[in-house]
Chains A and B, each alone.
Chain A
Amino acid sequence: MIIGLDVGGTHTDVVLLDQSGLLRQAKIPTDPADLFRSLFAALEAVTAGVPPERIRRIVLSTTLTTNAVIQGNTPPVGLIVSAGPGIDPEAFRMGEAYVCVRGSIDHRGREIEPLDEAEVRRAAARFRREGIRQVGIVGKFSVRNPAHELAIRERLGEGFDGVFLGHRVSGRLNFARRIATTYLNAAVDPLHRSFFEAVRASLAEKGLHLPLRLLKADGGNMRLEASLECPIQTVLSGPAASVMGAVAAAAGEGDAVVMDIGGTTTDLAVLIGPAPVLNPHGITIGAYRTLIRSLETLSIGTGGDSAVRVEDGRLAVGPDRRGPAMVFGGAHPTPTDAMAALGMLPHPARERACEGLRPLAARLGLDLDAFARAVVDTACRQMLAAADRLVEAINAQPVYTVHELKEGYRVRPRAILVLGGPAPYFAAALRAFTPLAVRVVPRWEVANAIGAALARTTCEVEFFADTERRIACAPAENFQEAIAPPYGLKDATARALALLRVKALARGANPDFLEMEVVEAQEFHMIRGFHTTGKNLRVRVQVKPGLIHGYDALLAHLSAPADPLAPRAAGEALPPC
């Protein structure tokens, strides 16, 4: 049996499932002040009476790190940065204890200026004096050569709780993002570590000794142990859980847009076949742009509880929420109220919704019905416009070869997969405005927890080789080796895949069903004068997000019993899963 558990901002959703189907599900309110209690209350709800040894896997998604970053509830972090020429590293400052030291590495990983060790020692002394326990070390081009970061680590000495190195975050180039990501790792580390150690201890008390898995922002999972090296990977995993829940329902649809419609916002993502589209740069959390691999998502301020108002003779829906819908006891009309008024959403308090909407309708000179329809239409149009924007942005991503520009894949969605609280009601309304098939994700209320439960282990490896300098490296994997000619793209790709396999298995992947793919494999001949002096090789491989093997039967069993509004014209059955 598998447990999928998503501690969200408002609700905590949990499912218990096995290969035969969904066994139990629960939705409880989240107590933002005590995520630990919310987590265990949800667990209790689905595990009562289940023998612990039958549970094989628990996958958790929480808002723990996201909240800490957004609210700034993190301890001070000391950063030591070595930049060299380029943009003034002061532009990337994070926090008070930000020290730039001399030393630089160039784009091919050659040392241009040696490290100033005395500066490093002075910085270390200052951090100790100021009681700083968390440290980040970041060098420009450290992913081409981590020597300076490693040397700084050594000179830093002991006496710090968490020390994070920039080159271990990701093999990608982007100094500013490397600084931000390293900073965030160091910042959330104590909270993340203590929280999940407590979770593990409590699970052990209940007889659950299995390796805990955490969901990441890219819709994959990893073992808790792997997350300790890079805890910020768990940030914004909630939206990823929902997208993976939609993946479970998307089999064979072609490209699709996922809409997770909540009270305040609608979060959109795109699937190419069964695989969600990844963000090419890394996730942005508040003001921080990071190198954390994530799904490409777009969030808009339109949801079931968006505030409806009439301003300057114009109807506006959102982007803010001013409490729950009036049918649920709120004070301001919302799209949910409009749907209640129209009878699309059967509710005993319908009259409350009508009362709330009437004065606004009058200001536009419309009758209640027409106004309510306009509210629903506006919300739907905003959601569909956002879907167009997201698809357009994905298709407008620059490419760097003639071949890709001419032949590159263009996303053409054929379906919209809707989930979240008001999913079936909005799905019915959306159908009027789009030629695409609109489907409600089965079990839309807990699809996020299902997504977390079924997500596979994902990871990525960036590999770089320079045959002139006779080195190959994957700094984020702590890998470097000497190479000798003849060495080509085949060798580099084979090595990168081997590293990926090791990494994926360490993170908890199933070795029998490991789907690895080469995302990028480029070979450049380096010519100096009129002679080839070597090859510059760049390889990127990944295990992309998807579902674990062996649960197809379960997916087939997930029907959508509570989608009363789906069209049932002749020949059109309910969605197959």
Chain B
Amino acid sequence: MLKARHRVGLVFFPAYDWAIHPQHPEREERLLYTQDQILEEGLFDVEGILELKPDPVVLADIQRVHFCVPDPWQVATESHFISAGGAKTVGMAVCEHRVDRGFALVRPPGHHAMRVVHGSRGFCAINIEAIMIEFLRRKYGIRRVAVVDTDCHHGDGTQDIYWHDPDTLFISLHQDGRTLYPGSGFPDELGGPNAFGTTLNIPLPPHTAEEGFLHALRRVVRPVLDEFQPELVVNSAGQDNHYTDPITNMNFSARGYAQLTEELGADIAVLEGGYAIEGALPYVNVGILLAMAGLDYRHVRESDYERHQIRQTAAVTEAVHRVCDLVLSCWQKRDKLREQVLARENAFRRRRRIFYDTDGFTETQLEEVTPCERCGGALRIDSTTDRGAHILAVHIPHRACPACRDRGLAWFDEASPKRFDRIVLQDGPADRYTVKAREAAGGSKGPSTHG
């Protein structure tokens, strides 16, 4: 009888009755063969691997993280509520020490969903990791969290949500944005002025293989984690770096994923992308699960695995080493680099255009954050879309200092409902979500609040 060295809580939610549309990579069939492989390997019988039933998240969980326009039901489906709930369920099991580690093997994914959500981007509507993390922070008093995103695509949604948060370290390993959606995630993206250096991006060249990923982990990720000292490490465990993935160009393998998982030692892994549903996912998921449980994964191998065929070239190796050295030096020199950033005009403002590929429209954001040395700062986002939506979103972080909180509250109070469709406030310290809608301008209806 197999016995896990680390107790692992697993939520498996394949959503067999949900798809973005029938031919979409994010469809019913996606985790079917993974289920077959996990069942046949008997992983649910391993002593110490515990299958948990997910509880869907509630509205407040989503609104703690996102400004959904016009509301969560319009941008997310039941399946998103359950998928985020799966992450939350494993997170709770870990924080309550019912298990040592957790794996949310759920769909749909979430790491492209940003703080403001007007629709779907990159198959994602709500950010399931961020929803879990903010719930765990609120419920268990956790402060320092690291998210290591090993999906092949840049985790731009998670980066956006934690851009200004000095308590959350976000590290993304992904295929170079010049060659793949969403086209971001370069080494000079290092976080906002109040949280500079707690965002790190390691873009890897196409055809990076096992040795490249493990190099990035050992050279950058592990040392940075050791220095940051998070209380919780979350792995956004996308599986589309696999050599058979149909929409990316990497050379990673199931055993490589297992080894990466073992060496990273995350507390919680959450499935993100990965669309080689037959040739990769069954093996990658078994590998990840075995590695998390501390079991032998050396016999996990794809049916067409030939190591020499997926080895990376010397040029790739050199490029990987170069980018890793660069990112590490950015981390080491982050204080100095921050001074340069602060010296810039408009250091505390950004103007951005965000493309929603799944739904096909563009959002423009004017963002302003309060300068602060004590907290992440209050955040004011003026967001318009070319579909005609216009909102003002004010985010006050959970651990905001009194001054920043006052600034955020003032932004909300001062904003005129005549200028925006709605004005929305995330008051972190009070854990309250408040909406001032345009019709409320007549005075008959005040702000509606969800605590």
Interface residues on A, range: 35 or more
Contacts A141-B40, A406-B78, A522-B16 given; indicate if A87 touches B45 (C-beta within 8 A). Answer: no
Q: Which residues of B contact A532 (CB under 8 A)?
A: 23
Q: Residue B40 contacts which of A88, A112, A174, A530 (CB distance < 8 angstroms)?
A: A174
Contact B45 A525 (CB under 8 A): no
Contact A527 B27 (CB under 8 A): yes
Q: Residue B32 contacts which of A85, A87, A406, A524 (CB distance < 8 angstroms)?
A: A524
Q: Which one of B67-75, B198-206, B297-305, B381-389 contacts A?
A: B297-305
Contact B39 A174 (CB under 8 A): yes
B17, CB-defined interface residue at 8 Å:
yes
A358, CB-defined interface residue at 8 Å:
no
Contact B36 A173 (CB under 8 A): yes
B51, CB-defined interface residue at 8 Å:
yes
User: What per-residue 1/0 map shows which CB atoms of B19-55 lie under 8 Å from chain A?
Assistant: 0001100011100110111011111110000011110
Contact B52 A398 (CB under 8 A): yes
Contact A400 B35 (CB under 8 A): yes
Give Cα A240–Cα B210 distance, bound, in whole angstroms: 52
Q: Which residues of B contact A107 (CB under 8 A)?
A: 33, 36-37, 40, 278, 282
Contact B23 A86 (CB under 8 A): no
Contact A405 B56 (CB under 8 A): yes
User: What per-residue 1/0 map shows which CB atoms of B275-297 lie under 8 Å from chain A?
Assistant: 00010001100100010000110
Q: Which residues of A contact B33 (CB under 8 A)?
A: 107-108
B186, CB-defined interface residue at 8 Å:
no
Closest to A106 in B: B303
Contact A401 B299 (CB under 8 A): no
Q: Which one of B7-15, B125-133, B232-240, B391-399 contacts A?
A: B7-15
Contact B15 A402 (CB under 8 A): yes
Closest to B27 in A: A527
Contact B56 A175 (CB under 8 A): no
Contacts A398-B52, A524-B28 given; indicate if A173 touches B17 (C-beta within 8 A). Answer: no
Cβ < 8 Å to B, chain A residues 277-335:
281, 287, 289
Contacts A86-B286, A108-B278, A398-B51 given; indicate if A174 touches B28 (C-beta within 8 A). Answer: no
A399, CB-defined interface residue at 8 Å:
yes
Contact A529 B283 (CB under 8 A): no
B410, CB-defined interface residue at 8 Å:
no
Contact A88 B296 (CB under 8 A): yes
Q: Which residues of A contact B361 (CB under 8 A)?
A: none
Give Cα A85–Cα B258 distance, bound, in whole angstroms: 14
Closest to B295 in A: A87
Q: Which residues of B contact A175 (CB under 8 A)?
A: 40-42
Give Cα A108–Cα B286 distance, bound, in whole angstroms: 16
Give Cα A280–Cα B57 distance, bound, in whole angstroms: 27
Give Cα A42–Cα B390 distance, bound, in whole angstroms: 84
Contact B53 A402 (CB under 8 A): no
Q: Min CB distance, B85 to chain A, in Å?
A: 9
A62, CB-defined interface residue at 8 Å:
no
A177, CB-defined interface residue at 8 Å:
yes
Q: Min CB distance, A113 to chain B, in Å?
A: 9
Give Cα A174–Cα B46 distance, bound, in whole angstroms: 12
Closest to B10 in A: A398
Q: Min CB distance, B14 to chain A, in Å?
A: 5
B228, CB-defined interface residue at 8 Å:
no
Q: Which residues of B contact A92 (CB under 8 A)?
A: 42
Give Cα A104–Cα B301 distance, bound, in whole angstroms: 12
Contact B29 A402 (CB under 8 A): no
Contact B53 A397 (CB under 8 A): yes
Closest to B32 in A: A524
Q: Min CB distance, A349 to chain B, in Å?
A: 46
Q: Which residue, B23, B42, B77, B299, has most C-beta atoms of chain A within 10 A?
A: B42
Contact A85 B300 (CB under 8 A): yes
Q: Which residues of A contact B79 (CB under 8 A)?
A: 402
Q: Min CB distance, A220 to chain B, in Å?
A: 24
A536, CB-defined interface residue at 8 Å:
yes
Contact A527 B300 (CB under 8 A): no
Contacts A176-B45, A289-B45, A402-B15 given; indicate if A86 touches B300 (C-beta within 8 A). Answer: yes
A35, CB-defined interface residue at 8 Å:
no
Closest to A175 in B: B40
Contact B2 A527 (CB under 8 A): no
Q: Min CB distance, A92 to chain B, in Å?
A: 8
Closest to A408 in B: B53
B355, CB-defined interface residue at 8 Å:
no
Closest to A107 in B: B36
Q: Which residues of A contact B11 (CB under 8 A)?
A: 398
Contact B37 A86 (CB under 8 A): yes
Give Cα A281–Cα B42 distance, bound, in whole angstroms: 10
Give Cα A177–Cα B298 distance, bound, in whole angstroms: 22
Q: Which residues of B contact A110 (CB under 8 A)?
A: 303
Contacts A85-B303, A108-B278 given; indicate if A176 touches B53 (C-beta within 8 A). Answer: no
* Interface of A toward B, CB cutoff 8 Å: 85-88, 91-92, 104, 106-108, 110, 112, 140-141, 172-177, 281, 287, 289, 396-403, 405-406, 522, 524-527, 529-530, 532, 536
A-B contact pairs, 18 of them (CB 8 A): A86-B40, A87-B299, A107-B33, A107-B278, A108-B278, A112-B303, A140-B40, A173-B36, A173-B40, A174-B42, A400-B16, A400-B35, A401-B16, A402-B78, A402-B79, A524-B29, A529-B246, A530-B23
Interface pairs A-B: 9 shortest CB-CB: A176-B42, A85-B301, A173-B39, A107-B36, A173-B40, A401-B17, A112-B303, A398-B53, A524-B29
* Interface of B toward A, CB cutoff 8 Å: 1-2, 11-18, 22-23, 27-29, 32-33, 35-37, 39-45, 51-54, 56, 77-79, 82, 246, 278, 282-283, 286, 290, 295-296, 298-303
